[in-house]
Structure 1
């Protein structure tokens, strides 16, 4: 038996632009289902928001996201989740870092660390904290 884990991000109205941005950073296929597509509209103002979405690539990236409807409580929290992207190719990690850092707040510059040839942490323009590092 084999299982995988996937980071699932929750937003309040930003799931589509976030997933489109992550696709531009990592590549892969974008798939989305709006509340309207699923015939599950509770608030007409939220019909085009994402009920289910993901970016999945051949490079191993998989991120899921949805828009929490206004009928449910939502609190983005503080430091409740980090998305970790790890790889062996420093050039690949650096390229992802450069694209992901557009509009981001850099928490730790991408640089050598005691435990990794390259390590960095940023909070992207959607408020998601990403950790990128190169495994030895």
Structure 2
């Protein structure tokens, strides 16, 4: 039996724009279903918001998102970082991590996500991988991008 996990992001009115942006970076197929498509009257404030959204790409990338019903976009908390003992520390509860096989492959994804992002740690070589970087995108989602390496134990 194979098991996979998919990151599911919750937004307040920005899910469609976020999913379109992630598709522009990672490629693939975009699926967006609005609340109105499930029968919500079109004159209600949330009718055009996303109740189900997903990007799936042939390279294995998948992400889901929807708009939490209610008021518009919430304030995005600032990411606080500090460098201590060679580690990046933040107050974020989670990160989305994307791994690729080569620095060139991951660097191209980094360039796309970095558009409008707050850079926490610029993409480049690190002691544990040929490529690592961390940013918070224009939608307030913090991403780690790195190059997968085999670790011996």
Do the two structures share a fold, i.e. TM-score over 0.5? yes
Normalised by the length of structure 2, the TM-score is: 0.82
1:80 positional shift: 2.1
Q: Which aligned pairs between 1:107-118 and structure 2 lie closer than 5 A?
A: 107-118=120-131
- CA–CA distance in structure 1, aligned partners of residues 101 and 43 of structure 2: 45
1:33–1:133 CA distance, 2 compared to 1 (3 A): same
Q: Which runs of 4+ in 1 moved over 2 A?
A: 40-43, 74-78
Alignment gaps of 5+ in structure 1:
none
Alignment gaps of 5+ in structure 2:
78-90
Corresponding position of 2:87: none
* Aligned residue-pair number: 134
- CA–CA distance in structure 1, aligned partners of residues 30 and 16 of structure 2: 10
Aligned-CA RMSD value: 2.0
Instruction: Find the partner of 1:84 among 73, 84, 97.
Output: 97
- CA–CA distance in structure 1, aligned partners of residues 64 and 94 of structure 2: 14
- CA–CA distance in structure 2, aligned partners of residues 34 and 92 of structure 1: 33
| Larger gyration radius, structure 1 or structure 2 | 2
In the alignment, does 2:15 pair up with 1:2?
no
